[in-house]
Amino acid sequence: MYVNDTIAAIATASGEAGIGIVRISGDESIKIIDEIFRSVKDKKLSEYKERRMTYGHIIDPDTEEKIDEVLCYYTKGPYTYTREDIVEINCHGGTIPVKKILQLVLRKGARLAEPGEFTKRAFLNGRIDLAQAEAVMDLISAKTDKGFDVALDQLEGSLSKKVRDIRAKLLDMIAHIEVSIDYSEEDIDEVTLDYLLKESLEIKNQINNLLKTADAGKILREGLKTVIVGKPNVGKSSLLNALLKESRAIVTNIPGTTRDIIEEHVNIRGIPVRIIDTAGIRETDDVVEKIGVERSKMFFNTADLIILVIDISTELTEEDITIMELIKDKKALILLNKTDLPQKADLDKIKELVGDKKILKTSLILEDDLEIVETAIEELVYEGETRAKESLLVTNIRHKDLLEKALNNIEDGIKAIEQKMPLDFVEVDIKNTWENLGEITGDVVAEDIIDHIFKNFCLGK
Ligand SMILES: Nc1nc2c(ncn2[C@@H]2O[C@H](COP(=O)(O)OP(=O)(O)OP(=O)(O)O)[C@@H](O)[C@H]2O)c(=O)[nH]1
Ligand SMILES: [Mg+2]
């Protein structure tokens, strides 16, 4: 596909800054810059070498007004971000210079780029596939180093390669089936069925492995919503402060210190965590606290992870027990806190009530114990496996949905083969799987989906 109008946008974030960049892409880029740029030697930009940063001024040719002092370069397609001719103008930062230059560029014939349109062109012109284009946005919005690494890997094509390998196998299967259908008059031969079954099972396995990474992937992208709960005075706010490494929440020995929700973001071993400290849960007559307690309960349902703090230096109370029951079916960590004090709580009873949830013993007045909590969070995210080090993770919901569809289709295919159904039945399932996966890379994809994906991009990217 070839798009031939010329687009322009401000590529840098708005606000005061050292420099700002206006980017132009398309056939007219060089013609436009030649109209508005003069080097100190009074030459046009195209009189200089390609890719050479050239110093000069942007001048409005209609009024001779100097707009700004700039550095700019041009580079000709196809070896560019969009595969089209590209010009970048580095001007002074701040809102005025970039805006004035952009307006001038638009007046000289460029059209304002839509969000993500530069990257969309890179995709439409075949430089990157859809999964790689989506990775560009993930890179920009990554919240931690780890999230960034995963996105960079995806941009370099790690996910695409895996998906293409699976698709190539599916295509071989389809070809094999076509030949068998065309030439075989007799019963379907066993060799073909064996081959199809073996391949399908292998593909199912590979899709499953990709899907297994999706939970961790989603968390890296969106953050782990973690709620700290427990009755008053057990050390919830102390935990929040420890994880943040600052005294964010007020900590006192008066039960009911935290009366509202406190929410902060923190990077725990590369995992972006949205951490929420809540009002201690107890029966109370205090109106403000009552609302706080109700809100804490609400968070139970939307959290990715609940950390229940129990003070083991006091006996278990009804409140502890009620909370343990409330979180029964949730993903939760149990923190037995205040281990520096003599223990009064009944541990066996706690174990019985929380079932197979992970129990940690901590003293939050000792800094070392924070490590235990951080490690437990990390293990929960990666489900105890060493996947933390691997960077091929499925982070995108769209990819996850398509992988799930592909899994269903290949499973149907496997059933059909096992039941020795006619080969054209099997072929339908294999083709569907092949198409589902093709939507990830954009090899098979409807235009409205593409538009939808790029709409969420930043301007100028
Ligand atoms: N000895 C000891 N004291 C602790 C420990 N953790 C917290 N504390 C103390 O326990 C008291 C209550 O701590 P907070 O963190 O305010 O407890 P909270 O659960 O947020 O309490 P509310 O906001 O009232 O629900 C404070 O005096 C803390 O210093 C611990 O491990 N050992
Ligand atoms: Mg508190």
Q: Choose one of 251, 254, 360 to mutate for the ligand 1 pocket test, by most ligand atoms within 8 angstroms of C-beta.
A: 251
CA 364–ligand 2 middle distance (angstroms): 13
Residues 208 and 236 in one domain: no
For residue 121, is it within any domain? no
- Find the mean pLDDT for residues 338-364: 92
pLDDT at 127 over 90: yes
Residues 232 and 363 in one domain: yes
What is the average pLDDT score of the chain? 89
pLDDT at 185 over 90: no
Among 95, 113, 131, the domain-final residue is 113
Nearest-angstrom CA–CA distance, 141 and 130: 17
Q: What are all long-range contacts of 65-70, with beta carbons under 8 Å and residues at least 24 apart?
A: 67/36, 67/97, 67/100, 67/101, 67/104, 68/92, 68/97, 68/100, 68/101, 70/37, 70/101
Identity of the amino acid at 398 = R
CATH, residue 199: 1.20.120.430
Cβ atoms of residues 58 and 68 within 8 Å: yes
Residues 250 and 306 in one domain: yes
Buried b (16+ CB within 10 A) or exposed e, 89-103: bbbbbeeebbebbbe
Identity of the amino acid at 387 = R
Of 33, 154, 132, the residue nearest 86 (C-alpha): 33
Residues 263 and 350 in one domain: yes
Residue 405, exposed/middle/buried by CB under 10 A (0-12, 13-18, 19+)?
A: middle
Nearest-angstrom CA–CA distance, 428 and 408: 13
Helix (H) or strand (E) holding 46: none
What pLDDT, on the 0 to 100 scale, is given for residue 265? 92
Q: How far is CA 239 from CA 19, 128, 222, 342, 399, in A?
A: 41, 44, 22, 20, 36
Neighbour count for residue 370 (Cβ, 10 Å): 16
- Find the mean pLDDT for residues 313-324: 90
The values of phi and psi at residue 302, to 5°, are: -105, 0
Upstream peptide bond of 115 is cis (omega within 30 degrees of 0): no
CA 312–ligand 1 middle distance (angstroms): 12
For residue 449, is it within any domain? no
Please report which confidence band the pLDDT of residue 117 belongs to, taking 50, 70 and 90 as the band edges: very high
> Residue whose CA is closest, atom 14 of ligand 1?
235
CA 192–ligand 2 middle distance (angstroms): 66
What global pTM score does this model have? 0.77
Residues 156 and 197 in one domain: yes
User: Ligand 1 atom closest to Cα of 369?
Assistant: 31
- Give, as one character, the DSSP assignment of residue 189: P
User: Ligand 1 atom closest to Cα of 339?
Assistant: 31
What pLDDT, on the 0 to 100 scale, is given for residue 300? 79
Nearest-angstrom CA–CA distance, 190 and 423: 12
CA 18–ligand 2 middle distance (angstroms): 42
Report pLDDT digits (tens) over 234-290.
Answer: 999 999 999 998 888 889 888 888 888 899 999 998 889 999 998 877 777 777 767
Domains held by the chain: number: 3
User: Ligand 1 atom closest to Cα of 230?
Assistant: 19
Ligand closest to Cα of 255 equals 1
Residues 291 and 257 in one domain: yes
What pLDDT, on the 0 to 100 scale, is given for residue 360? 95
Residues 255 and 375 in one domain: yes
Of 281, 287, 363, the residue nearest 327 (C-alpha): 281
Neighbour count for residue 201 (Cβ, 10 Å): 13
Which residue range(s) make up the domain with 175?
142-213+395-442
User: Ligand 1 atom closest to Cα of 277?
Assistant: 20
Angle, helices 95-107 vs 29-36, to 10°: value is 120
For residue 402, is it within any domain? yes
Query: pLDDT above 70 covers what percent of the chain?
Result: 96
Nearest-angstrom CA–CA distance, 308 and 326: 11
- HSE (side-chain half, CA atoms, 13 Å) at 17: 14
Report pLDDT digits (tens) over 403-443.
Answer: 999 999 999 999 999 998 888 899 999 999 999 999 999 98
Cβ atoms of residues 72 and 56 within 8 Å: yes
Of 129, 138, 169, the residue nearest 391 (C-alpha): 138
CATH, residue 39: 3.30.1360.120
Q: How far is CA 102 from CA 20, 21, 274, 284, in A?
A: 11, 10, 38, 60
CA 320–ligand 2 middle distance (angstroms): 15
- Find the mean pLDDT for residues 327-344: 92
What pLDDT, on the 0 to 100 scale, is given for residue 405? 97
What pLDDT, on the 0 to 100 scale, is given for residue 184? 61
What pLDDT, on the 0 to 100 scale, is given for residue 191? 78
Give, in degrees to the nearest 5, the angle at Cα 399 between 395 and 403. 120
> Residue whose CA is closest, atom 8 of ligand 1?
235
- Please give the structure tokens belonging to residue 205: 């396995």
- Find the mean pLDDT for residues 72-94: 95
User: Ligand 1 atom closest to Cα of 280?
Assistant: 25
Ligand closest to Cα of 262 equals 2
Using CB distances shorter than 6 Å, the residues near ligand 1 are 230, 232-238, 251-253, 255-258, 280, 337-338, 340-341, 363-365
> Residue whose CA is closest, atom 3 of ligand 1?
338
Please report which confidence band the pLDDT of residue 1 belongs to, taking 50, 70 and 90 as the band edges: very low
CA 330–ligand 2 middle distance (angstroms): 22
Report pLDDT digits (tens) over 17-68.
Answer: 899 999 999 999 999 999 999 999 999 999 999 999 999 999 999 999 999 9
CA 3–ligand 1 middle distance (angstroms): 62
CA 186–ligand 2 middle distance (angstroms): 76
Residues 401 and 385 in one domain: no
CATH, residue 349: 3.40.50.300
Residues 267 and 407 in one domain: no
Report pLDDT digits (tens) over 358-397.
Answer: 999 999 988 788 999 999 998 888 875 545 456 688 988 8
Please report which confidence band the pLDDT of residue 186 belongs to, taking 50, 70 and 90 as the band edges: low
- Find the mean pLDDT for residues 337-349: 93
DSSP 122-163: HHHTTSS-HHHHHHHHHHHH--SHHHHHHHHHHHTTHHHHHH
Among 389, 410, 429, the domain-final residue is 389
Residues 431 and 302 in one domain: no
Strand ranges for 185-303 from DSSP E:
224-229, 262-268, 271-277
CA dihedral of 239, 240, 243, 246, whole degrees rounded to 10: -110
User: Ligand 1 atom closest to Cα of 364?
Assistant: 31
Identity of the amino acid at 356 = D
